[in-house]
Chains A and B, each alone.
Chain A
Amino acid sequence: MHKSKKLEIQTKNGNLRNATFTIHEESHTLANTVRYVLAHDDDVNFVGYSVPHPSEFKVNVRVQTQQQKSSIERFDLALENLCLVTNSIQDEFKNKLEKFKEEKGIQKEEVDPFVISLKRQLRKEYKKMKANID
């Protein structure tokens, strides 16, 4: 099966100020978050999203920007900001999790058997290599 397009952009006469982004294989999960970030962007006049039909797995996001600002640029910036935000959430969660585990005295996790067998194989190969060189 061929891979279908992820993203389609509709503009009027190539004017990048106002654009409708059709994103395939996405739902409210990403679209609402992007809409929320763009709504707090000062250079964006209008942003909204819709799911054209619940049976079809795609969303439409409409962005209209101020004079001489590209909507694609704003969209790109919004996605970057989202990545930064999730990074800070990840760091905060990791820190708090470690603290909680220390406080409660929970032991460290058991090592994965998959990793153990991999390490064993690597050790064997390393020994072989050493024997060959010597």
Chain B
Amino acid sequence: MSIHVGKEKISQVLDGEILEFNPNNFSENFSIEIEKLTKDRMEFVMRGIEAPLANAFRRILLSDIPTIAIETISIKNNTSVIQDEVLAHRLGLIPINVDPKHFQYRPKQPLQKQDKNSRQESSNATEENTLLFNLHIRCLKKTDWEKIKKSRELLLKKQEQNKEMNLEKDEEEEKENQLKIQIESGSESEDEEEEGEIDERAKECVEKILTQRAKTLINHRVLSSDLVWVPIGNQQTLFPKGIKPVLPDILIAKLNEGQEIDVECEAVKGTGREHAKWCPVCTASYRMLPSIKLKKQLSQKKSKKLVKTCPMKVFDIEDGLLEITNSRKCTMCRECLRGDYGVELGLVKNEFYFWIESTGIIPPEELFQQALEIFKEKCINLKNNLQNFTKKKEFNENEEEEINFD
């Protein structure tokens, strides 16, 4: 039941046992062992299943499970060095921590002539299929910011006096204050390390500039924590804790003094098949478990040599006998095949070591269960379509000849 891995080629062992697929016996031979389960990563072993099924689950994990990500942005102001489309691309890739089952897909509008008054993409946007985010950041010198703070305090005092005297002014000043309140939400950043510098003097120069920048500017790094959720409709009651990105310190852009980013983002439900930003896993992968056999007995000297040659320390000498202790760690490097040790290396056809790394939106154990559900839905959907055919009997004419093996 194994695939034979040789020095230069891999071959399938056809004589011997052929794995039968029997749906009635399936649960007897099938077993799962969960090896590791954390918030973001799950590793487990599936035995008694073959490659087509395992691969189907892996493909569904990558492409058919829906999530929510930013799809369209309205740019009110972007004076940063990052181009509009690059900024949009980066914003789309940020994972947003919200369960997509509360939302529906946004129906795609057919291409039509737009009216002057309507916004084309957003005319289908409702509270059930869209999330709004706001990103408004302006980079200022700290000294300037302190001046603005002081003047703001003065304005507030004036406003209080005006309220007492019942004078209505300062609508524009109020708006300015709101702007400043948003800007104030930026935090002081620390120094960063520049990567890949060879010259030490150059390193020092860059570090000086960066520390200077950090000391004299606020908001010069735009992080994913600066994305502010704007609830529409009854979303505030559905999500009382608020919606934010999975990680707060994803760097979106860097600003210098006087540069500003003012952007309104719409997040929409989608699948990985359409764009990788909607993929719920960093990666989902599997490998077949190795099968290692010792064909012949080796002398003490040779056994010690074999133990040394294996870089993953698969072999070990216990009680004077050569034994295979860590067969799971084998990476198929074939070092043990070089030299006459009599090792038979192979891959077990029906044992899969699966690992699922989630981006943090959906926990990995739930992801796998969703993948199984989606697979079942596909089969049932196709079955229903087949039954329609047996009723209607609308067949197309086939030009192909029958393929004969006689």
Contact = CB atoms under 8 A, between A and B. Distances in A.
A51 interface: no
Prevailing SS type, chain A contact patch? helix
Contact of A9 (B368, B375, B389): B389
A113 B376 contact: no
B355 to A, nearest CB: 15
A131 interface: no
A10 B381 CA distance: 20
Interface residues of B, number: 58
A86 B31 contact: no
A30 B382 contact: yes
B383 to A, nearest CB: 5
B348 to A, nearest CB: 17
A108 interface: no
A38 B99 CA distance: 37
Contacts of A75: 386
Contact of B27 (A14, A92, A112): A92
B165 interface: no
Contacts of A76: 383, 386-387
Given A40-B21, A75-B386, A117-B238, A12 B52 contact: no
Nearest to A73: B390
A37 B238 contact: no
Interface string B364-394: 0100110011011011111101110110000
Nearest to B383: A79
Contacts, number: 150
Contacts of A81: 23
Interface string A83-99: 11111111111101100
Interface in B203-235: none
B27 A88 contact: yes
Interface string A20-50: 1001001111101101110010000110000
Contacts of B56: 29-30, 32-33
24 contacts: A9-B389, A28-B59, A29-B60, A29-B375, A37-B21, A79-B379, A79-B380, A80-B383, A82-B379, A83-B380, A83-B383, A85-B53, A86-B376, A88-B27, A89-B32, A92-B27, A92-B32, A93-B369, A97-B37, A97-B365, A113-B241, A114-B102, A114-B238, A117-B240
